[in-house]
Amino acid sequence: MAHDNSYVDKKFNIVGTRFNRPDGIDKVTGKARYGADASAPGQLVGKVLRSPHAHAQILKINTSKAEKLQGVKSVITFEDLPDLTGADQGMADILENCMARGRALYDGHAVAAVAAIDEQTAAKALKLIEVKYKKLPHVTDVDEAMLPTAPVIHDRIFTRGVEPKPTKPSNISSRTEMGNGDVDAGFAAADVIIEHSFKTEQTHQGYIEPHACLASVNPDGTAELWVTTQGHFVFRNVCAGLLGLDIAKLKVTSSEIGGGFGGKTHVWVEPVALALSRKANRPVKMVMSRDEVFRATGPTSSTSIDVKLGAKKNGEITAAVAELRYQGGAFPGNWAMLACMTAFACYDIKNNKSIGWDVLVNRPKVAAYRAPSAPMAAFAVESAMDMLAKELRMKAIDLRLKNVAREGTLAPYGPTYGPIGIEDTLKAVKAHPHMRAKLKPNQGRGVACGFWFNIGGQTSTDLNIGVDGTVNLAVGTVDVGGSRSSLAMIAAEELGIDYENVKANIADTTSLGHNDMTEGSRGTFSSGMATIYAAREAIEVLKQRAAKTWGIPLEDVSWEEGHAVATGKGHGNLPKLSLREIAAKSGRTGGPIAGHNEVTADGAGMGFASHICDVEVDPETGRSTIVRYTVVQDAGKAINPDYVEGQFQGGATQGIGWALNEEYIYGDDGRLQNPGFLDYRIPVCSDLPFIDTQILEIPNPNHPYGVRGVGETSIVPPLAAVGNAIANATGVRMGHAPMSPPRVLAALDALDNAG
């Protein structure tokens, strides 16, 4: 059955209200099971030996003593993970990232692994593995890695996107350029030009639940994997590929996930656990320690960015250029390219150019972190906007409104915008009472905007109606933030029944077709769309059964508010049939009633936001305190406003941590010095005020309810919102994030000395 994904304006009964989430009781009682909460009979404990060097040749690995230790059941190195990736370099990189193949590429890179009968034995076994390393020169800074003198990490990397093609390998995997118009002409026409350079340090998604899985491989090639993941179908495909298993024979069940934010979209210990299990012929449970999570999973890029803006006296920006250098860790990535796409996305600037450099360093392989690459670019561009406004003697918000992108604006990365919400969010910010609140001494207020594309992607959903009229909704997108509630609400809305009668579950990989990851803010958007279609298919079946029961043509049956209604001449005496009544008879009218849908959800609506931040800076210590924060974001349609607000607040808080205190600290030896929550400082409860939210709804024309993704945009504005607030509080422009107390104090000193 073909489905139309166009937005239809209508009144909702359930969607848009606030319902309690179905998984709430399990989570507040401790019953919910996460990655580390499963066990299997005979299970072994898996542990990984990791490189203590940032870059080293692995000359020899001697596992014999470990293998002989009583209680050790398997020991593996890369030799137990043969390279089956063929010509797929991306998969080869994943394989090498999971287990070093002759060379350790970063501090924490997995070198070997053991499975033993208990924790203590596994720890002892690791100590018995002898590894002979030859240290190699390393580089961990993105700018240093681009110098011709930098040690080259992979000699197969020749920069793509550069003419003529380089003859020598380097750490620059690609150069991207995009934009519109003629920036030179634009700058020539400008009355005022602002140029500034920015640096952001590496941060981690910081989910509280470490990676964990329970793997069990059988001699016949069937296997099971219980895992905390943002996408069990993708994990299945990747693990099957790396281990040479058949996809259908690897059953992956996603546990509840204790936070992901993009960091659980990749495999690290999972192929290792499967390989250990295969060799030991027993289930293997692997749970990462916190320091392993920081050292050896997928943090985001550290960056170095230059921005140049030119404008006429009236505030019209005539040219904008950004050069963005992003490191992707020890393997090539597309992070700078993504940054190019987002840098000027909030504005209608006819002449714009973004150049991105994707760079390798001896750090862990970067993974997506909530609107990947956008927060850093926004830090630079939104800070520069404030600097430009100051030069023009314009209000920062008015400069943004003057240049704001609208429907019909050509986006810097190609498409033309449909209806979008950035202007609405700016106007809402301008009108918001927060903007009129009085500021105290040492306080300042900053505003910043943000954008994220959001994505659609492959989705498969099953809706099954029980004989008592209650409904099972099986979805394949992992629930990271409450989507089970939203999806149940959508199903109930479509079917016209009570929310309590729909139970949404995340099905395992043997029960549904492929579902892409829960990332790109696609969970509610894509599964929501598939749920709508599945429900509409089920309604067709319900109508058919009613028609059969009444003995009337199908065209004379309509579905209204949870009932089949006989329309047309002569049927007025037929009483309505409820979903429950039809379901009760289903065994006799044709069998179980269900609706099913596979869709590659398309037309994800872009999410725009504007934030307001009030900060108080202690001028004697440089310490900043967030005293007030407001998020205004366009959600398209908020299915469950509670969970939309939660996304706004959570994303904003991660951005605030990134702005103030979070950073990876590497020593000169290339080792990570702060792989723990003590010294990797995420915001704690007492660091923050309440975070006010305002949900705007500019419907996405490509979704039946107008839904846009909401999960990511809110992490994009905070770095600049905080930076602009600090600038307004103190007069100093911070170009280096995090804007920690020592950096701010040094900047204050410099300002004092200069003036």
Partner 1 sequence: MSKSTLVSTTVNGDAVEFACPTDESLMTALRDRVGLTGVKEGCGTGDCGACSISLDGRLVCSCIVLGVEAEGRTIETVEGLSQNGVLHPLQQSFIDHAALQCGICTPGFLIAAKALLDRNPNPNESEIRYALAGNLCRCTGYDKIVRAVQATAKDMRKKGRS
Partner 2 sequence: MRYETPASAKEAAGLLKKEKGAAFLLAGGTDLLVKLKMGIVEPDLVVDIKRIPKISEIQSSTKGFTIGAAVSGAELGEHAGLKKAWPGVVEAANLIGSDQIQGRATLPGNLCNASPAADSVPALIAAGAKAVVVGPLKKRTVAVEKIVIGPGKTSLAKGELIEAITLPKAEPRSGDAYLRFTPRTEMDIAVVGIAISLKLERGVIKKARVVLGAVAPTAIVVAAAAKAIVGSKLDDKTLDKLAAACSAACNPIDDKRGTIEYRVRVAGVLAKRAAKIAFQRAGGSL
The listed partner (partner 1, partner 2, none) that binds 701, CB under 5 to 8 Å by sort, is none
Binding segment for partner 1 (CB under 8 A), chosen from 118-126, 302-310, 430-438, 731-739, is 118-126
Which pair of structure tokens corresponds to residue 209?
Answer: 């639940």
What is the phi-psi region of residue 680: left when phi exceeds 0, alpha when psi lies from -120 to 50, beta otherwise? beta
DSSP 666: B
**Matching residue, tokens 């909530």:** 370
CB nearer partner 1, residue 657 or residue 735: 657
Least Å distance between CB 689 and partner 2? Answer: 12
Site string for partner 1, 58-77 (x = CB under 8 A): ------------xx------
What binding mask, one character per residue, do residues 131-160 give for partner 1 by CB under 8 A, x or -? Answer: ------------------------------
Q: Which residue has the tokens 């000395």?
A: 753
CB-based contact 658:681 (threshold 8 Å): no
Out of 145, 324, 539, 652, the residue judged to bind partner 1 by CB under 8 A: 652
Question: What is the four-CA torsion angle of 578, 579, 585, 586, rounded to 10 degrees?
Answer: 160
What, of partner 1, partner 2, none, does residue 80 touch, CB below 5 to 8 Å by kind? none
Nearer Cβ to partner 1 (214/317):
214
- The yes or no reply on residue 261 touching partner 1 (CB under 8 A) is yes
Applying CB under 8 A, what is the total number of residues that bind partner 1?
A: 60
The Cα 598–Cα 603 span in angstroms is 16
Phi-psi map region of 520: left, alpha, beta (phi>0 left; psi -120 to 50 alpha): left
* Residue 266 zone, left/alpha/beta (φ > 0; ψ -120 to 50; rest): beta
Under 8 Å between Cβ of 733 and 194: no
Q: Is residue 27 part of the contact set for partner 1 (CB under 8 A)?
A: yes
C-alpha 627/C-alpha 616 separation (Å) is: 7
Contacted by 30, from partner 1, partner 2, none: CB < 5 to 8 Å by type: partner 1
Query: Binding partner of residue 620 among partner 1, partner 2, none, CB under 5 to 8 Å per kind?
Result: partner 2
Alpha helices by DSSP H, 214-316: 232-243, 270-280, 290-296
Distance CA 642, CA 647 (A): 9
290 binds partner 1, rule: CB under 8 A: yes
Interaction partner, residue 653 (partner 2, partner 1, none; CB < 5-8 Å by kind): partner 1
Please give the radius of gyration of the chain, using alpha carbons only, rounded to the nearest integer. 27
Return residues touching partner 2 (CB under 8 A).
123, 291, 620-621, 623, 625, 660-661, 665, 673-674, 677-679, 681, 683-684, 686-687, 740-742, 745
Distances (CA, A) of 292 to 125, 132, 261, 295, 549: 18, 21, 18, 5, 62
Q: Does 658 bind partner 1 (CB under 8 A)?
A: no
Position among 59, 147, 208, 750 found at the interface with partner 1 (CB under 8 A): 208
Closer to partner 1 at the Cβ: 315 or 607?
607
- Judged by CB under 8 A, which stretch of 112-120, 319-327, 401-409, 443-451 contacts partner 1? 112-120
With CB under 8 A as the contact rule, the residue among 3, 17, 33, 187 that binds partner 1 is 33
> Residue 347 has what DSSP assignment?
B
Q: Which does 206 bind (CB under 5 to 8 A by kind): partner 2, partner 1, none?
A: partner 1
- Return the residue matching tokens 């993009």: 262
When the beta carbons of 27 and 156 are compared against partner 1, the nearer one is 27
> Which of partner 1, partner 2, none is residue 177 near (CB under 5 to 8 Å by kind)?
none
When binding is defined by CB under 8 A, the residue of 653, 694, 700, 728 that contacts partner 1 is: 653
Q: State the minimum distance, in angstroms, from the CB of residue 355 to partner 1.
A: 33
If one asks whether residue 440 binds partner 1 (CB under 8 A), the answer comes out as: no
Closest among 585, 515, 591, 525 to 549, alpha carbons compared: 585
Give 345 or 656: the residue with its C-beta nearer to partner 1: 656
Nearer to partner 2, 407 or 679 (CB): 679
CA distance 351 to 341: 14
Residues β-bridged to residue 131: 61
The binder of partner 1 chosen from 179, 186, 241, 258 (CB under 8 A)? 258
CA-to-CA distance for 475 and 205, rounded, in angstroms? Answer: 25
Given the complex with partner 2, which of 98 and 745 has the nearer CB atom?
Answer: 745
Of the candidates 48, 269, 287, 487, which one interacts with partner 1 according to CB under 8 A? 287
Q: Is it true that the peptide bond before 375 is cis, omega within 30 degrees of 0?
A: no
Residue 232 found at the interface with partner 1 (CB under 8 A): no
* Helix runs in 297-352, H state only: 335-342
Encoded tokens for 432: 């918001």
Pairing relationship of beta strands 192-200 and 736-737 according to DSSP bridges: parallel
Nearest approach in angstroms of CB 19 to partner 1 is 10
417: contact with partner 1 by CB under 8 A = no
Residue 747 has what DSSP assignment?
H
Distance in angstroms (rounded) separating the CA atoms of residues 505 and 385: 45
Which amino acid type is present at position 42?
A: G
How many angstroms separate the CA atoms of 453 and 336, rounded?
Answer: 15
Shortest Å, Cβ 416 to partner 1? 34
Positions in the binding site for partner 1 (CB under 8 A): 18, 20-21, 23-25, 27-34, 36-37, 70-71, 118-121, 205-210, 256-261, 287, 289-290, 480-482, 642-643, 645-646, 649-650, 652-654, 676-678, 682-686, 688, 690-691
